[in-house]
Amino acid sequence: MHDSVARALSHGVPGGDAPWGKGATKFLCPVPGYDRHFAICDHLGIAMIPVQMDARGPDMDAVEPLVVSDPAVKGIWLVPKYSNPTGITLDDGVVDRLARMPTAARDFRIMWDNAYAVHDLGDGSDKLKSIFAACQAAGTPDRALLFGSTSKISFAGAGLSVMGGSDRNLTWMVQHMSKRTIGPDKLNQLRHVRFFKDFDGIRVHMRAHAKILAPKFDAVQQVLESELGGLGVATWTKPRGGYFVSVDTLDGCAKEIVSAAASAGVKLTEAGATFPLGKDARNRNIRIAPSFPTLPEITKAMEVFSVCVKLATIRCSSSS
């Protein structure tokens, strides 16, 4: 993803008149969202425009006016299935609107980071409409750049990254990649093929992952519900897949909760990390990542977190 954006800045993309870097470049950033996407934009000097996520995906009533009115808006970041951190999967109608919406920039790109395509927590799986098929039907076949990897599937640090798109987009990418490297790590590719064999092999492997992860996510939900349910001090997502739970506290409380939890020995993702430049204007979103700790550790950590939410809410209410 970083290479794709960097190459667009230096050389442009198919359908464009000039490299993105020749003028101002802006990206739409659904929030709460993935901090690594925002870090790429920050590192490459791209201005970021937050767009609110809801249960269907990015707020398209906000997206469409932005892309049609400003040719500097060159792209939008999306984790379309089990979004980081909310866990939502884009609605079919949102996918269609993304594909067919008019854009002032002829070289606008959807950065479709389908990182959790097979990361289900249970037997069922959210259905995600193909953005590539939607773009082809809408007459915008070059609009979407599709990304995925075997991160959180095969061994850490040894995963394979993949990119998909139209013939023009892939030819563009290969032309630039050939100047950077002679070829991919073919031995690692072979290891993956021999281990997984086919897509059914990946499904079987991920069901084994789910047996490990699902109880951890259940524990998060159980503690949140028992400790904070009905109090009106926080809301949280209940994802069917992915790796995160998104918690919204009352406005102005998130940083204090994260700090208090750290003092009690529970390390959380920094408040604001799910927003561009780490700036959550409402100071309320916290990303919970329960994949690494043991089940007893998660239960204890969520109990501490819940106490911190209650204390911070009292202090925030008192100060206001």
Q: What is the 3-state secondary structure (H, E, C) of 137-154?
A: HHCCCCCEEEEEECCCCC
Domain count, the chain: 2
At 122, which CATH number? 3.40.640.10
Question: Of 192, 214, 246, which residue sits at a domain end?
Answer: 192
Strand order in the sheet with 161-164: 57-58, 47-54, 26-31, 73-78, 109-113, 144-149, 161-164
Tell me, yes or no, whether 165 and 222 share the same domain. Answer: no
* Contact (Cβ atoms closer than 8 angstroms) between residue 23 and residue 62: no
Question: Of 172, 192, 212, which residue sits at a domain end?
Answer: 192
Tell me, yes or no, whether 165 and 239 share the same domain. Answer: no
d(CA 263, CA 257): 10
Domain that holds residue 288: 202-319
Q: What integer pLDDT is reported at residue 315 of this predicted model?
A: 87
Tell me, yes or no, whether 206 and 315 share the same domain. Answer: yes
Tell me, yes or no, whether 216 and 263 share the same domain. Answer: yes
Q: What integer pLDDT is reported at residue 36 of this predicted model?
A: 96
Tell me, yes or no, whether 154 and 269 share the same domain. Answer: no
Domain assignment of residue 57, yes or no:
yes
Tell me, yes or no, whether 274 and 312 share the same domain. Answer: yes
For β-strands 73-78 and 109-113, DSSP reports them as parallel
Q: What integer pLDDT is reported at residue 267 of this predicted model?
A: 96
φ, ψ at 175 (rounded to 5°) = -60, -40
Tell me, yes or no, whether 176 and 228 share the same domain. Answer: no
Tell me, yes or no, whether 119 and 234 share the same domain. Answer: no
Q: Which two tokens stand for residue 65?
A: 């006016």
Question: Of 140, 170, 192, which residue sits at a domain end?
Answer: 192
Q: Which two tokens stand for residue 241?
A: 């897949």
Q: What integer pLDDT is reported at residue 317 of this predicted model?
A: 75
d(CA 53, CA 56): 8
d(CA 209, CA 130): 25
Per-residue confidence of the chain (320 residues) as pLDDT tens digits? 999 999 999 999 999 999 999 999 999 999 999 999 999 999 999 999 999 999 999 999 999 999 999 999 999 999 999 999 999 999 999 999 999 999 999 999 999 999 999 999 987 899 999 999 999 999 999 999 999 999 899 988 889 999 999 999 999 999 999 998 888 899 999 999 999 999 999 999 999 999 999 999 999 999 999 999 999 999 999 999 999 999 999 999 999 999 999 999 999 999 999 999 999 999 999 999 999 999 999 999 999 999 999 999 998 877 65
Q: What integer pLDDT is reported at residue 320 of this predicted model?
A: 59
Task: Read off the pLDDT of residues 35-75 as tens digits, 9 standing for 90 and up.
Answer: 999 999 999 999 999 999 999 999 999 999 999 999 999 99
